[in-house]
């Protein structure tokens, strides 16, 4: 049984159907890239899997470790090991990044029956994980994402992923808005978190992230459906030919 | 023909205060002549004035009737050292080793105080060598209006002592100066008329922290007046913390006068008192003067907290920033009334004002009224008020990081409040307040 099984998933936002029957199976240890033009439903898929209340599933099912993911509250999904790296990370004024990171980690540890980390233990872990994303320590004492540059926000997402150690990581356009240095750092961070127990779904518009992270599978999303699936060469073909040929092919 | 008795009948609610004044003058006061003069003018003004009622526009939402029903009397000067609880409370209120003046029931407690050495004067008026002639006389009663404001008149007539901070020209006091006012309600129904004077001469810098707190279970009344005078280029951080006990009444006025290019950073936090009314009035009376006013009120139960602020821009190129935030729970009520007045000559004024409120309970109410009165034509002024819920996207973000909905709500509420606390530069105080916010807002953590 796959770690994640999506069957005929339909989802709507504000009453408008965006996902029109998605089928996708992701196994532990695999990296899947979901690509597609703007408006194809990529972010809707990512947010629906994380349980955003505005993204309403109208049909189909999603099994995670064989259990009904859609019945779980967003926090339950997170505690069970589902992680979404946001396309637009949210600013939380007045709450320090360190406090936020520690709070999330301790919720997950409690769920797994582990003891909470105290301040010293957490700081040690944090120092180690900061290296993964080449992030400055000063950013952890600032309010969450407030005043962060675009690249810092994305790195902060990967830092959270490194700390929370999910089984299933969904990265929503983690490469968008990054300059080449930030892209390299973020991609290296993601690559270093690859492992046999962990699955990743990379949602992206561009192929360039895949220069750093080689996916096992590539899926093309168009108009709310997966219209092509293949190996890493499919991404290169998209890069070369753009999305128009897909649109024409399915028209 | 018999003479007509023209003496006005004294309202019953004024009687205890007039009795206090009579006692003070009868006992052969040790006050310097200038202070006796101030008291006399103030008491005559108090006799003429009435206590405000909800028919007065400025007191529309706050009735002082509960205060006036109780015959609060000035406390006698019991040795502070004999009041263990008050001593402990005063110690907890200030970080160890900090510069501080402590007053218990309005009386200076030298044993609990610690005065910095250096060029600045930090002292109780009663302990000043020249009876305050040099530092205090030119300023006390000059800014805070006792002709029209009843509680200020009362304070000026009955003030127990004055906490005096004077920083001479060009001098900087690095460490915060704590002025701590403890009410010990075990002494009976006490009314304390506390007074603060902060004078920062040209280019002087200082941080002053006023804390009001209480020990004991009984009702008491704090009637506080603070005068702040900032000379040209002076820079003052002023923090007022109302941590009064839960049956306390607090009425306070802070009156600020700012010279050219001076800068005031004000933080006002109310987390205690059954009924608190705070007036903060700032006059930007020099070109390029700037002030930032941050406020936070955390209310619960049947608490009532009213913040009234007035910022007057009288000269060109002034800047004012104001952010007041409230978190209301239970059946509590808060009032915010913020007025920005831009006078005709105050061109190029830049003023921003916001008041934001979070209601955690359906029974809590807030009345908010930001006001702009602009008489100049070249100005940039914005204001706004919001009574809101927490940001849904932020809630989802926290939940996606494994926090329960309640935890996420608590954390966002904490963040909302903590943004105000973050304005305080003194780290030990900031941490102490954040700790208090966490224990209050992050229950179950």
pLDDT for residue B185: 83
Which of A48, A77, A94 best tests the B interface by mutation, with the highest count of B CBs <10 A? A94
Instruction: Identify all chain B residues contacting A108, using CB atoms and an 8 Å cutoff.
Output: 402
A84–B396: do the CB atoms touch at under 8 Å? no
CB contact, 8 Å: A51 with chain B?
yes
Please indicate whether, in this complex, the C-beta atoms of B403 and A107 are within 8 angstroms of each other: yes
Report which of B192, B153, B203 is spatially closest to residue B52, judged by C-alpha positions.
B153
Mean pLDDT over B151-175 rounds to 96
pLDDT 10s digits, B269-282: 999 999 999 999 99
pLDDT number for residue B444? 42
Q: What is the DSSP string of B240-308?
A: EEEE--TT-EEEEEEEEEE-TT-EEEEEEEE---SEEEEEEEEEE-STT-EEEEEEEEEE-TT-EEEEE
Looking at the complex, does the CB of residue A164 fall below 8 Å from at least one CB of chain B? Answer: yes
CB < 8 Å to B403, chain A? 75, 103-104, 107
Expressed as residue numbers, the domain containing A103 is: 4-250
Gap between the terminal Cα atoms of chain B = 80
Average pLDDT of the residues in A16-20: 97
- The residue among B298, B325, B388, B401 with the most chain A CBs within 10 A of its CB, best to mutate, is B401
Residue A86 at interface with chain B, using a CB cutoff of 8 Å: yes
Residue B280: closest CA among B314, B318, B311: B311
The per-residue pLDDT for range B398-427, each reduced to its tens digit, is 999 999 999 999 999 999 999 999 999 999
Tell me the three state secondary structure of residue B88. helix
Q: Are B157 and B31 in contact (CB under 8 A)?
A: no
Test A94 with B403 for CB contact under 8 angstroms. no
Percent share of chain B, pLDDT over 90: 80
Two tokens, residue A13? 């936002």
pLDDT exceeds cutoff 80 at B76: no
Q: Do A93 and B401 touch (CB under 8 A)?
A: no
CATH at residue A105: 3.40.50.300
Tokens of A175: 């490469």
- Structural domains in chain A (count): 1
Contacts of A84 in chain B (CB under 8 A): 400
For residue A240, the model assigns a pLDDT of: 86
Domain ranges for chain B: 12-286, 390-445
Compute, in degrees rounded to 10, the torsion defined by CA atoms A67, A70, A71, A74. 110
pLDDT band at B285 (very low <50, low <70, confident <90, very high): very high
Specify the pTM.
0.90
* Ramachandran angles phi, psi of A188, nearest 5°: -65, -40
At B1 the pLDDT is: 46
Asked whether the beta carbons of residue A78 and residue B399 sit closer than 8 angstroms, the reply is yes
Place of tokens 């709450």: A95
pLDDT of residue B435: 92
Predicted pLDDT of residue B4: 56
∠ CA A90-A95-A100, rounded to 5°:
75
Cα dihedral sign, A13-A14-A17-A21: positive
| A128-181 confidence digits (pLDDT tens) | 999 988 888 889 999 999 999 999 999 999 999 999 999 999 999 998 888 888
DSSP string, A115-157: PPP-HHHHHHHHHHHHHHTT--GGGGSSEETTT--HHHHHHHH
CA atoms within 13 A on the CB side of A74: 28
- Which candidate in B391, B395, B402 is best for mutational testing of the A interface (most A CBs within 10 A)? B402
């Amino acid at each position: 049984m796959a770690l994640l099984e999506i069957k005929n998933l339909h989802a709507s936002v504000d009453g408008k159907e965006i996902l029109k029957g998605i089928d996708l199976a992701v196994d532990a240890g695999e990296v899947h890239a979901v690509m597609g033009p703007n408006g194809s439903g990529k972010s809707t898929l990512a947010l629906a899997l994380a349980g955003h209340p505005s993204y309403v599933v109208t049909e189909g099912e999603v099994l995670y470790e064989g259990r009904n993911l859609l019945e779980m509250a967003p926090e339950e999904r997170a505690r069970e090991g589902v992680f979404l790296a946001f396309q637009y990370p949210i600013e939380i004024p007045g709450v320090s990044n360190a406090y936020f990171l520690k709070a999330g980690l301790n919720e997950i540890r409690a769920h797994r029956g582990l003891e909470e980390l105290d301040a010293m233990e957490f700081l040690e872990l944090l120092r180690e994980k900061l290296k993964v994303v080449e992030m400055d320590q000063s950013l952890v004492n600032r309010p969450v994402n407030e005043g962060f540059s675009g690249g810092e926000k994305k790195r902060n997402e990967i830092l959270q992923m490194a700390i929370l150690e999910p089984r299933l990581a969904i990265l929503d356009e983690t490469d968008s808005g990054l300059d080449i240095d930030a892209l390299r750092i973020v991609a290296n961070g993601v690559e270093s978190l690859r492992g046999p127990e962990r699955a990743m779904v990379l949602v992206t518009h561009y192929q360039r992230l895949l220069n750093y992270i080689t996916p096992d599978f590539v899926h093309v999303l168009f108009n709310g459906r997966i219209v092509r699936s293949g190996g890493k060469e499919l991404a290169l073909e998209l890069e070369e030919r753009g999305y128009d040929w897909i649109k024409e092919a399915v028209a | 023909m018999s003479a007509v008795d023209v003496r006005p009948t004294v309202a019953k609610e004024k009687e205890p205060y007039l009795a206090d004044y009579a006692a003070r003058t009868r006992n052969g006061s040790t006050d310097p002549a200038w202070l006796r003069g101030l008291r006399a003018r103030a008491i005559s003004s108090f006799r003429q004035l009435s206590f405000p009622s909800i028919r007065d526009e400025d007191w529309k939402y706050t009735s002082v009737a509960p205060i006036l029903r109780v015959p609060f009397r000035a406390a006698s000067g019991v040795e502070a050292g004999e009041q263990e609880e008050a001593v402990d409370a005063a110690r907890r209120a200030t970080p160890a080793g900090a510069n501080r003046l402590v007053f218990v029931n309005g009386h200076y407690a030298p044993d609990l105080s610690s005065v910095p050495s250096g060029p600045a004067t930090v002292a109780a008026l009663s302990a000043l060598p020249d009876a305050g002639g040099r530092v205090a006389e030119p300023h006390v009663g000059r800014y805070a209006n006792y002709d029209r404001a009843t509680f200020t008149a009362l304070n000026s007539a009955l003030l127990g002592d004055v906490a005096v901070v004077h920083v001479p020209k060009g001098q900087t006091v690095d460490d915060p100066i704590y002025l701590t006012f403890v009410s010990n309600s075990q002494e009976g129904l006490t009314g304390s008329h506390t007074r603060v004077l902060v004078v920062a001469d040209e280019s002087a810098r200082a941080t002053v922290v006023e804390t009001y707190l209480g020990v004991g279970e009984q009702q008491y009344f704090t009637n506080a007046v603070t005068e702040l005078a900032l000379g040209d280029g002076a820079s003052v951080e002023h923090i007022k913390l109302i941590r009064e006990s839960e049956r306390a009444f607090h009425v306070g006025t802070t009156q600020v006068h700012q010279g050219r290019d001076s800068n005031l950073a004000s933080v006002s936090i109310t987390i205690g008192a059954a009924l608190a009314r705070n007036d903060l009035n700032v006059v930007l009376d020099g070109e390029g003067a700037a002030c930032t006013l941050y406020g936070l009120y955390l209310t619960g139960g049947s608490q009532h907290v009213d913040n009234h602020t007035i910022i007057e821009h009288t000269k060109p190129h002034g800047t004012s920033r104001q952010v007041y935030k409230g978190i209301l729970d239970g059946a509590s009520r808060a009032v915010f009334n913020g007025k920005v007045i831009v006078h005709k000559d105050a061109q190029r004024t830049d003023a921003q004002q916001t008041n934001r409120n979070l209601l955690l309970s359906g029974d809590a109410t807030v009345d908010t009224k930001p006001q702009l009165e602009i008489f100049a034509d070249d100005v940039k002024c914005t204001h706004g008020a919001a009574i809101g819920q927490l940001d849904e996207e932020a809630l989802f973000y926290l939940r996606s990081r494994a926090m329960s909905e309640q935890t996420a709500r608590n954390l966002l509420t904490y963040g909302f409040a903590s943004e105000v606390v973050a304005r305080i530069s003194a780290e030990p105080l900031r941490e102490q307040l954040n700790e208090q916010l966490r224990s209050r807002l992050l229950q179950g953590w």
